[in-house]
């Protein structure tokens, strides 16, 4: 016989994984990834680091 999977457990796991990102971002706990497109800000004359949240796609720029 084949293995029987319970769909309600699978669906619950998927919803928890999906909503985890939204609740973390709303609470201010973003998961930042570094974007390597822009390295130098011409107006300020500084090196900058551009970060983007993996879940909500919010962008944060900071000078080095």
Residue 29 within a domain: yes
Residue 2, domain member (yes or no): no
pLDDT at 21: 66
Let me know if residue 49 belongs to a domain. yes
Residue listed under structure tokens 């944060």: 60
Per-residue model confidence as pLDDT tens digits over 31-41: 899 987 768 87
Q: Is residue 47 part of a domain?
A: yes
Number of H helices, E strands in the chain: 1, 4
Q: What is the pLDDT of residue 38?
A: 65
Q: Indicate the Cα dihedral angle 42, 47, 53, 54, nearest 10°.
A: 110
Full residue range of the structural domain in which residue 35 is found: 7-63
- Give the closest residue to 41 by CA, choosing from 50, 52, 30: 50
Q: What is the separation, in whole angstroms, between the first and last Cα of the chain?
A: 60
Kindly report the backbone phi and psi dihedral angles of residue 42, in degrees, each rounded to the nearest multiple of 5, phi listed first: -70, -40
Answer whether residue 43 is part of any domain. Answer: yes
Report if residue 1 sits inside a domain.
Answer: no
Percent of the chain with pLDDT over 90: 14
Residue 41 lies in a domain: yes
């Amino acid at each position: 016989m084949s293995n029987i999977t319970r769909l309600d457990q699978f669906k619950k796991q998927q919803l928890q994984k999906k909503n985890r990102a939204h609740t973390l971002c709303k609470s201010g706990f973003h998961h930042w990834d570094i974007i390597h497109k822009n390295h130098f800000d011409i107006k300020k004359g500084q090196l900058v680091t551009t970060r983007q949240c993996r879940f909500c796609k919010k962008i944060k720029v900071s000078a080095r």
